[in-house]
Structure 1
Amino acid sequence: MAAQRKTSRYVVPVAVAGIAAATIGLVPALAASGDPDLPEITAQQLIEKIAASDTQTLSGTFKVSTDLGLPAFDGLLGGLAGGAAQGEGEGSADPAAQLTKLVSGTHTLKIAADGPERQKLTLLDGKEQYSLVHNGDEVWAYDSRSNEVFHEKGVDGGPGEDAPAPEKELPASPKDLADEVLKAAGDTTSITVGGTANVAGRDAYRLVIEPKQQGSTVDAITIAVDAATGTPLKFTLDSTSGGKPVLDAGFTKVDFGRPAASEFDFTVPKGAKVTEGDDVEASHKDVEKDLEKEFGGLGDLGLGGAGGFGEGDVNVIGEGWTSIARFDSGAPAPKTDEAPKEVQGFLDSLGEKVSGKFGSGTVFKTKIVNALMTDDGKVYVGAVTPEALVDAANAAK
C-alpha cells in the first residue's frame, strides 16, 4: 500500500487525460465524402429528428481518432488505475484498463447492437483484438494478446426500481426536447445546421454547436445526423488551439438491420484465464480507499468512478462553456521530481508553472480540459484556457 500511496499523489494531474476523455465521451461517427442535396431543415427540426430517432439495431465499422495534445500514454492510466487492480493494465481484459487506449491515437472498432440488452464492441489492433460483449445480464470481455477473460454477471440493462418517472424528468415529445435544448443553450451557445455530408454511403445533415463565450477551449462540436433515421453518425470536437480535431470518430460502414443473435454469444477460449468482475471491483476499492486518504474524496477521478469529489467539496465558478470546478485536494501539489519514474516525463510535458495573487502552482494542459493545481492543494478544472483558471484562482483569494 505504501507504493500505491506514493503513486496516488500523481493520479490527479495524470487524470487530466481521463477528465478529457470523460468530457468528450464516445459517440459513433463518420468519414464523409461529398455533400448531398437535401431538403432544408432548421436546427430545431434537426434536434427533433434526433430525439424522435428510435434506432435499436445496427452494426458497422468505424474509426476513432483522438488528439488531446498529449504525449503517448497508452497503458499509463491503466497502469495507475486498472493495472493496480488487475496487475498489468496493458495485458488485462478489464474494460477499465483496455478502453483507455481510445484516449489517444487512431483505432478501428466494430460495433453491433440489438436493443438495450445486447451490444458488442471489438477493438482491432493489428492481429490482436479486444472484444466487449453485453448479452442480457452478463458482460464478457476478451483480450487476445494476453488470452485473458473478464466476466461480470447481474448487469442491469434498464432503469432500477427507484428511477424517477420519465414523465417527470423528460420532455414529452421530440419537439419539447428540442425546445429544452435550445432554451438551455441560451445566450452561451450557437446551434445551426452547417450543410450536409455523405457518411458511409448515407445522406446526413451537420448540426454545428459553437460556444459564444470567450475563454473556452471548445471551438465547435459537429454532429452528422442520418437524414433518414435521425441517428447520429458523426461526432467531431475541435479545439480553439487548431490542428487536428480533438475527437473525430467515423463510421466507414453501417447497417441498421438486426445483427444475428449469434453475434452476442461468447465462449471462453481454451486455456484463457477468467477474472470475475467482483474480484476486480474489490481491488479497485482498495486503490480508491488509498486515494481517499491522499485526496479526501478524489479517489474516483480518472478511475471510472461515479463521483469522486466528496459531497459539498466542489464549487462551480461561472456558467456554460466557461464553467470551472474548484475543490480542495486535501494535499499539497505533488512535486514532479518525486513522482514515480513511469510518470515523471509525462507530468513534465503536461505541466507549466504559473503564479498570481493565489500564490503559485502548475497548470496541466490538454487541448480541451485544463487543470490548475496550486501549491497549497487547491484544484481548478475546466474546458477553459489556462489564463481563465489563473483568473479564477486569483478571484478566489
Structure 2
Amino acid sequence: MAQTRKASRFIVPVAVAGVAAATIGLVPALAASGDPDLPEITAQQLIEKIAASDTQTLSGTFKVSTDLGLPLDGLASGLASGLGGGGGGPASADPTEKLTQLLSGSHTLRVAADGPERQKLTLLDGSDEYSLIHNGDDVWAYDSKSNEVFHEKAPAGEGPSRAPEGDAELPGTPKQLADEVLKAAGDTTSITVDGTAKVAGRDAYQLVIKPKQSGSTVASVKIAVDAANGTPLKFTLASVEGGKPVVDAGFTKVDFSKPAASDFAFKAPEGAKVTEGAAEKAAEEAEGAKENPFGDELPGGLGEAFGLGAGSGEGGVNVIGEGWTTIAKLDTGAPAPKTDEAPKEVQGLLDSLGDKVSGKFGSGTVFKTKLVNALLTDDGRVYVGAVTKDALVNAANADK
C-alpha cells in the first residue's frame, strides 16, 4: 500500500509540477513596442547559438506566471503543499516545499549568478521574501515570514535549483530549460524561427517549437533568445485550449556583468530557527525504515512478487507512445473509489475537475488541467500525460 501511494504521488502531481518547478530560472518578460531588425537566422543556427552560449554571470528580475486551468483558486497551491510533504514534513524554509508555490499564480523573483559555484534566487511575495543561496559547498534558504533558515551541504556545481536527492535534476535556468526542450525534439517536432522581440531591453530572436503529432495538449513552446550572446530570456508554453499560457516566464531586467561577492554571503539572522538538511534527511530515513525494514526493494525478488517492482506490471509504470504524446500507465491493482458515495461537496469538487468517460476499457474519470491530464479507470488503472482526453481514452482502449 505504501508503494502504491509513493507511485501515484510521483506520477500525477510530479508530471504537473515538473513544468512549473523547471521555470524557477525563467519569467514573463515585458516586450517593448516595435520588434528589432536583426539579421536573418535559421532554426539550426539559432539552436547552435543557444548551445554555444556560455553565460556565467548575470543578475536581474523576472516574473513567472503559471496557469494550469484548475477551476478552483488555490487548488494548485494545495497540490504544491502536498508535493512539499505533509504530516510534519519539511521545514517551511525547505526549497522542496517553498518553491512549489510557483505552481500557480504570478510571482516576481530576483536572481544573481556567478558561475557554477554561486547563485541566489529571491522570491518576493508582498513584504515577505524567500531567499535561496548557493555559495560554494553551502546551500542556504531563508524565509522572512517565519524567520526560519534551512541549510545543507551541496557538492560543488549544484545550484539552488537542484532537485532533492533521489529525484531527477530539474532545469533551473532559461538555458537549461531550453536545452532540455531541444534535446527532446526529434521527428515529432517542428522548430522554426518566428521573428524577433525586445525582451528586458535586449534584442532577441523567437524560437518556436511545436508538436507534429496530434493529441498533445501542448500548442507551442516559444523561447526568446538573446541575439548577442544566445542566452534564453523568455519561455512561453501555450496549451491547445488557448487562453493564458500555461507558463509565461521571462526576465524583465537583466545585466550580464559579474555580481558582487557580497550578494551571495549569508548569515542566519539572530533568533532564527535553523534546520540542517542532513539531520532532517536522517530522521526521515529512520522513520521510513520502521515502515519497511527492507527499504524500497524486498530481497530475493519478493518485491516483484508482491507488485512492488519499479518496472512493468502491477504497481509499476509502463510507457505508451513516444514524443509529445507519451503516456505513463500505472496499474494500482485496486478499484477506484466510488465518488457517488462521497459527500455532495466532495462530489461537486470531483465533478469540476473530472469528466466521466467510457470505452472498450470500461469506464473511468479524466482529471484535467491545461497541460497534464490523467484517466483513472474504475478498475484502478491510471493513464497520465500531456495529452488530450481523447488520446487517453484511445490509449486505454488499445491497452485493454
1:18 aligns with 2:20: no
The 2-side partners of 1:196 and 1:231 are apart by: 14
The 1-side partners of 2:46 and 2:290 are apart by: 47
The 2-side partners of 1:144 and 1:336 are apart by: 41
Q: Which residue is equivalent to 1:55?
A: 55
The 1-side partners of 2:9 and 2:351 are apart by: 11
The 1-side partners of 2:222 and 2:103 are apart by: 19
Q: 3-state SS of the aligned residue for 1:93? A: coil
Q: Which residue is equivalent to 1:140?
A: 140
Q: So what's the TM-score if we normalise by structure 2?
A: 0.80
The 1-side partners of 2:362 and 2:372 are apart by: 22
1:85–1:280 Cα contact (<8 Å) kept: no
Q: Which residue is equivalent to 1:361?
A: 364
Q: 3-state SS of the aligned residue for 2:157? A: coil
1:349, distance to aligned residue in structure 2 (A): 3.2
Q: 1:215 to 1:201 in 2, by over 3 A?
A: same
The 2-side partners of 1:342 and 1:130 are apart by: 35
Q: What value does the CA root-mean-square deviation take over the aligned residues?
A: 3.5
The 2-side partners of 1:277 and 1:10 are apart by: 21
Cα-to-partner distance string for 1:297-322 (whole Å, 9 max, x where unaligned) = 9xxxxxxxxxx982343322122111
Cα-to-partner distance string for 1:34-93 (whole Å, 9 max, x where unaligned) = 310000000000000000000011010000001000132364235434342645x7x711
Q: Which residue is equivalent to 1:77?
A: 79
Q: 1:331 to 1:22 in 2, by over 3 A?
A: same
User: What amino acid is the match of 2:104?
Assistant: S
Q: Which residue is equivalent to 2:262?
A: 262
Cα-to-partner distance string for 1:236-262 (whole Å, 9 max, x where unaligned) = 000000000000012110000111111
1:331, distance to aligned residue in structure 2 (A): 3.4
1:229 aligns with 2:265: no
1:154, distance to aligned residue in structure 2 (A): 3.9
Which structure would you say has the larger RCO, counting Cα contacts within 8 Å and 6 or more residues apart?
Answer: 1
Correspondent of 1:370 among 362, 370, 373:
373
User: What amino acid is the match of 2:206?
Assistant: R
Q: So what's the TM-score if we normalise by structure 1?
A: 0.80
Moved more, 270-279 or 335-344: 335-344
Matches for 1:309-320 after TM superposition, within 5 Å: 310-312=310-312, 313-320=316-323
1:391, distance to aligned residue in structure 2 (A): 0.8
1:86–1:92 Cα contact (<8 Å) kept: no
1:344, distance to aligned residue in structure 2 (A): 7.8
The 1-side partners of 2:384 and 2:325 are apart by: 10
The 2-side partners of 1:284 and 1:359 are apart by: 40
Q: Which residue is equivalent to 1:278?
A: 278
1:291, distance to aligned residue in structure 2 (A): 10
The 2-side partners of 1:284 and 1:40 are apart by: 55
User: What amino acid is the match of 1:377?
Assistant: G
Matches for 1:97-176 after TM superposition, within 5 Å: 97-157=97-157
Q: 1:355 to 1:226 in 2, by over 3 A?
A: same
Moved more, 145-154 or 341-350: 341-350
Q: 1:81 to 1:235 in 2, by over 3 A?
A: closer
Q: Which residue is equivalent to 1:349?
A: 352
1:206–1:224 Cα contact (<8 Å) kept: yes
Cα-to-partner distance string for 1:161-211 (whole Å, 9 max, x where unaligned) = xxxxxxxxxxxxxxxx99x959x7444211100000001100000000011
The 2-side partners of 1:320 and 1:290 are apart by: 40
The 1-side partners of 2:340 and 2:235 are apart by: 39
1:192 aligns with 2:188: no
Q: 1:74 to 1:239 in 2, by over 3 A?
A: closer
The 1-side partners of 2:290 and 2:396 are apart by: 28
1:356, distance to aligned residue in structure 2 (A): 1.6
Ranges in structure 1 where 5+ consecutive residues have no aligned partner: 160-176, 298-307
1:331 aligns with 2:334: yes
Q: 1:349 to 1:277 in 2, by over 3 A?
A: farther
1:231, distance to aligned residue in structure 2 (A): 0.2
Matched length: 359
Q: Which residue is equivalent to 1:304?
A: none
Q: 1:196 to 1:77 in 2, by over 3 A?
A: same
1:13–1:364 Cα contact (<8 Å) kept: no
The 2-side partners of 1:373 and 1:345 are apart by: 17
Q: 1:36 to 1:79 in 2, by over 3 A?
A: closer
Q: 1:291 to 1:32 in 2, by over 3 A?
A: farther
1:215, distance to aligned residue in structure 2 (A): 0.7
1:43 aligns with 2:43: yes
Q: Which residue is equivalent to 1:169?
A: none
